[in-house]
Amino acid sequence: MTAQPIQDTVAEASDGKTPTLHVERLGRRFGRHWALARIDLEVQPGEVVLLAGANGSGKTTLLRLVAGLFQPSRGQVRICGLDPQRQPLQCRRMLSMVSHQAYLYPRLSAFETARVWARLLGLPARAADLRPLLEEVGLSERQDEPVVGFSAGMKKRLALVRTRLERPRLVLLDEPFSALDAAGRAMVDGWIQGFRAAGTSVLVASHTLARAARLADRAVLLERGQVAWRGPAPGVVARMETLAAGEAVSA
């Protein structure tokens, strides 16, 4: 398996009728606090949707519910029509999540990390298969060094390799531009555009609104665990500024 265009790495196409992601009246409570309340959301095949909102608005909680890492307190999530709680393995094969925290093996090198991922996925794990992917993310010169010595940006680049190996139908990105330099942010831009062209859906939570809005088809603005606004992606920047101004006045 040599590095291929993202368009060639997607598993079999959706039937075009079932949403890649369907979220209905979704809620998650921690103790007495509702981190999310009555969230409705659909993401179609090949659609890029931006999740915006201040810290604590519920973006990461929503992504973790979709990924099956949290169990809903109410409501439901469907990945290509499947329930992540009842069919976790099938759903896990359909999605890939990159968190703002890179969960890596610190004592392994970048190449060894990619090889572990490939073997877990049942994919070829030869140097000829994996080194082109590491070169694509700008780690070819450091691929044999332990991850423990990597910067936050390098760890983010390595974590993104997994999305190429997993061949998902849905990609969940939590602050994908954080810790990256200009070249790294441009790389993420290209990957998101490539996912869309391949028919892969992307749900991205980001504080880098202007950049993310240029890449997204639609945006959903969360405030205190609820949908405060939804519409075309370019409008989310102005809407976020309006909400911030309103909070400043009320304070």
pLDDT at position 9 is 36
Q: pTM value?
A: 0.89
> Has residue 48 been placed in a domain?
yes
Q: Is residue 230 part of a domain?
A: yes
The Cα–Cα gap between 18 and 54 comes to 31
Cβ(59)–Cβ(136) below 8 Å: no
Q: What is the pLDDT of residue 245?
A: 67
pLDDT in tens, the chain (251 residues): 444 444 443 444 445 679 999 999 999 999 999 999 999 999 999 999 999 999 999 999 999 999 999 999 999 999 999 998 889 999 999 999 998 777 798 999 999 999 999 999 999 999 999 999 999 999 999 999 999 999 999 999 999 999 989 889 999 999 999 999 999 999 999 999 999 999 999 999 999 999 999 999 999 999 999 999 999 999 998 888 887 666 654 44
| In-domain check, residue 111 | no
Whole-number Å distance between alpha carbons of 37 and 65: 12
Q: Has residue 162 been placed in a domain?
A: no
Q: Is residue 25 part of a domain?
A: yes
Residue 53 falls inside a structural domain: yes
- Report the run of H or E that residue 202 belongs to, with start and end: strand 201-205
Q: Is residue 118 part of a domain?
A: no
pLDDT at 6: 44
Q: How far is residue 85 CA from its own chain's centroid?
A: 19
- Structurally, the chain folds into a number of domains equal to 1
The domain spanning residue 213 has which CATH number?
3.40.50.300
Range of the domain at 101: 18-106+168-250
The answer as to whether 123 is a domain residue is no
Cβ–Cβ < 8 Å for 117, 130: no
